[in-house]
């Protein structure tokens, strides 16, 4: 038996002003998307913004339902809308933010496991890493690929080995 360790690299920015203008714009788009969140059951609002390879931005927000599993997270709302409308454009990055009672969360909002798996599919489908920006009032974390957040991941090729 051998003990193994996994380490990941990511960047932490103290304020959104420290980000590159394009990334700041994406975080601000995710924040604006919070206005479309429908979350009467959790009162937890999530906004997401996807940057596509032509520079355009597609946003989404969480959509809840009285039959709870019928709802959808902000990230998948944004990603599915982006690729349903622009299947030929690659997804380059995604910004995610959360809010409660009208106030942006101070800490980051990290994507759930299902959303991580869908981001992974985008990387696999378009053969390009997707940068992930987790934007909170007190700081933003930036990851270069979903694989940093999803080690030992399952992709299509696993079924062909
Ligand atoms: N939520 C998202 O929109 N994205 C995530 O990655 C985590 C959770 C939403 C789902 C639900 O509407 C609310 O947050 C509480 O779980």
pLDDT at 155: 85
Give this prediction's pTM.
0.96
Query: Which protein residue's CA is at the shortest distance from atom 3 of ligand 1?
Result: 73
Rounded to 5 degrees, φ, ψ at 122 are -65, -40
pLDDT at 156: 85
| Measured distance CA(4)–CA(143) in Å, rounded | 22
Given a contact cutoff of 8 angstroms between Cβ atoms, the answer to whether 123 and 87 are in contact is no
Tell me if 78 CB under 6 Å of ligand 1: no
pLDDT at 157: 86
- Token code pair at residue 143: 């990851």
The tens digit of pLDDT for each residue in 98-129 reads 999 999 999 999 999 999 999 999 999 999 99
Tell me if 129 CB under 6 Å of ligand 1: no
Question: What is the H or E stretch that residue 9 is in?
Answer: none
Collect the ranges in the chain with pLDDT lower than 70.
Answer: none
Ligand 1 site-directed mutation target among 38, 39, 73, most atoms within 8 Å of CB: 73
pLDDT at 159: 87
Strand pairing class (103-104; 91-100): antiparallel
């Amino acid at each position: 038996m051998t003990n193994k360790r996994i380490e990941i690299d990511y960047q932490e920015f103290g304020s959104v002003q420290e980000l590159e203008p394009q990334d700041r714009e994406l975080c601000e788009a995710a924040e604006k998307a919070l206005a479309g969140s429908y979350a009467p059951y959790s009162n937890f609002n999530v906004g997401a913004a996807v940057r596509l390879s032509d520079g355009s931005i597609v946003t989404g927000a969480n959509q809840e339902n009285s039959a709870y599993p019928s709802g959808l997270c902000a990230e998948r709302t944004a990603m599915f809308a982006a690729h349903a409308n622009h299947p030929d454009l690659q997804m380059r990055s995604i910004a995610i933010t959360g809010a409660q009672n009208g106030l942006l969360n101070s800490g980051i909002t990290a994507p759930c496991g299902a959303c991580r798996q869908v981001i992974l599919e985008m990387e696999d489908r378009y053969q390009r890493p997707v940068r992930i920006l987790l934007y909170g009032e007190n700081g933003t974390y930036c990851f270069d690929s979903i694989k940093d957040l999803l080690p030992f991941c399952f992709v299509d090729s696993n079924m062909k080995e």
